[in-house]
Amino acid sequence: MMVSLVIPVFNEEEMLPRLFGALSRFISLEQTDKREFEVVLVNDGSRDASWALICGQHEKDPRFRGVCLSRNFGHQLALTAGLDCARGDAIVAMDADLQDSPEVVGQLIAEWEAGHDIVYGQRVKRHGESRFKLWTAHGFYRLMRLISRDRTPYDVGDFYLLSRRALDRLKAMREHHRYLRGMIFWLGFQPKAVPYQRLERKAGVTKFSVARMVRFALDGIISSSTMPLYLASYLGFASAVVGLILTVWSFVVHYFQPGVVRGWASTVIIILFLGGIQLISIGILGLYLARVYDEVRGRPLYIVRENTPGTGGQI
């Protein structure tokens, strides 16, 4: 029985030595005659020494394997590359910053051995993060829970375990704009939660800027829900109602207050209001259409530049 740990890496040269040490200690404690481990590290176009460190660790410990992508494809596609080449009977996705502790991985494995195909870590507390990050994360997860068809639980990141049969079904879903934490709950399989406290980053800095957070949130919303399209329709209906009310008001003013010069302010407001509604609706349609275009082109999700020996990467 093999357990694969899949970890995307982007400019983490400061963090990798700590990560290697923590995972080596964890594997030493958890590995038995009936259970072995591999660690699949996916270098997502890092511009620092991350790939050299991964190769060096592989030479010291062949259980650490590396996949180097040709450029930065983004966290979700890098994670997909690692899942594609993982060989385990159970596969654990986690980040390289050690905020999701390896000790919790043992709890995920225990729940898998108890018969669960999907086991996810659910954050009950997040240490070392700003109020802005906590507030936006809180709002995002609740918004996704409200509008998503996938019914993603609250406060869940890319820290989860998949059985081999769950992963095989996930791998059949090859859309380009991926929101993996939502896709795994679309699979069903009665997922099991493991509550845990997310730790503070010990080295390096987060690579998830505000711009990346916004793009990720948009991908999650559009990939998991058609609610924005309904919202555009609702806005159009609301603007029609407002227009009808203003029309009635104009007739009332014309017949009951003759001679009063009115209309320039309301005309400008109406034009700006309707113009804004139209642009918002066109923008929403454009986001969905762009995703259709990306799928129709049929390009590969990622390109592998090189692997450490013995590691297979799917293109």
For residues 45 and 73, give the distance between their C-alpha atoms in angstroms, rounded to a whole number: 7
For 80, counting Cβ atoms within 10 Å of its Cβ (0-12 exposed, 13-18 middle, 19+ buried), the class is buried
**Residue range 41-60: average pLDDT?**
94
Q: What is the pLDDT averaged over residues 25-41?
A: 88
The pLDDT, as a whole number, for residue 209 is 65
Q: Is the pLDDT of residue 314 over 60?
A: no
Q: What is the layout of strands, in order, in the sheet containing 192-198?
A: 192-198, 118-126, 156-163, 90-93, 2-9, 36-43, 64-69, 304-307
Q: Given this model, what pLDDT does residue 150 score?
A: 64
Q: Where are the domains of the chain?
A: 2-207+301-307, 227-297
Q: Are 78 and 6 in contact (CB under 8 A)?
A: no
pLDDT grade for 91, boundaries at 50, 70 and 90: very high
The pLDDT value recorded for residue 272 is 66
Looking at residue 90, its pLDDT comes to 95
Nearest to 291 by CA among 232, 221, 230, 227: 221
Amino acid at 147: I
Task: Supply the pLDDT for residue 265.
Answer: 57
> pLDDT: is 311 or 102 the higher one?
102
| Range from 161-170, 253-262, 304-313 carrying the lowest mean pLDDT | 253-262
Rounded alpha-carbon distances, angstroms, from residue 42 to 11, 114, 169, 285: 11, 29, 21, 34
First CA to last CA distance, the chain: 26
Residue 114's Cα: distance from chain center in Å? 27
The CA-based dihedral angle spanning residues 36, 167, 17, 62, taken in that order and rounded to the nearest 10 degrees: 40
Q: Mean pLDDT, to the nearest integer, of 300-315?
A: 75
Tell me the three state secondary structure of residue 101. coil
**Residue 174 exposed, middle or buried by CB count within 10 Å (0-12, 13-18, 19+):** exposed
Q: What percent of the chain has pLDDT over 70?
A: 83
- CA distances (Å), origin 141, targets 155, 177, 181: 6, 18, 11
Question: Under a CB-based contact definition with an 8 Å cutoff, are residues 134 and 205 in contact?
Answer: no
Residue with tokens 């592998």: 304
Mean pLDDT of all residues in 75-91: 94
Minimum mean pLDDT range among 6-10, 164-168, 197-201, 234-238: 234-238
Q: Over 103-125, what HEC string results?
A: HHHHHHHHHHHCCCCEEEEEEEE
Predicted confidence (pLDDT) per residue in 170-188, tens digit? 999 988 888 888 888 888 8
Q: Could you tell me what percent of the chain has a pLDDT over 90?
A: 40
Which of 56-65, 206-215, 272-281 has the largest mean confidence? Answer: 56-65
pLDDT of amino acid 245: 75
Q: How far is CA 291 from CA 92, 101, 176, 178, 261, in A?
A: 28, 35, 8, 11, 49
Q: What is the mean pLDDT of the chain?
A: 82
Residue scoring higher pLDDT (143 or 289): 289
C-beta neighbour count of 172 within 10 angstroms = 7
Decide if domain 2-207+301-307 falls under CATH 3.30.465.10.
Answer: no
Q: What was the pLDDT predicted at 315?
A: 38
The more confident residue out of 260 and 158 is 158
- In the predicted model, what is the mean pLDDT of residues 243-251? 71
Taking the C-alpha atoms of residue 186 and residue 170, their distance in angstroms, rounded to an integer, is 9
Contact 42, 85 (CB under 8 A): no
Q: Pick the more confident residue, 240 or 72.
A: 72
Tell me what the mean pLDDT of segment 2-15 comes to: 94
pLDDT of 313 over the 80 cut: no
> Which one is predicted more confidently, 53 or 126?
53
98-112, 129-143, 211-225, range with greatest mean pLDDT:
98-112
Rounded CA-CA distance 26/97 in Å is 15
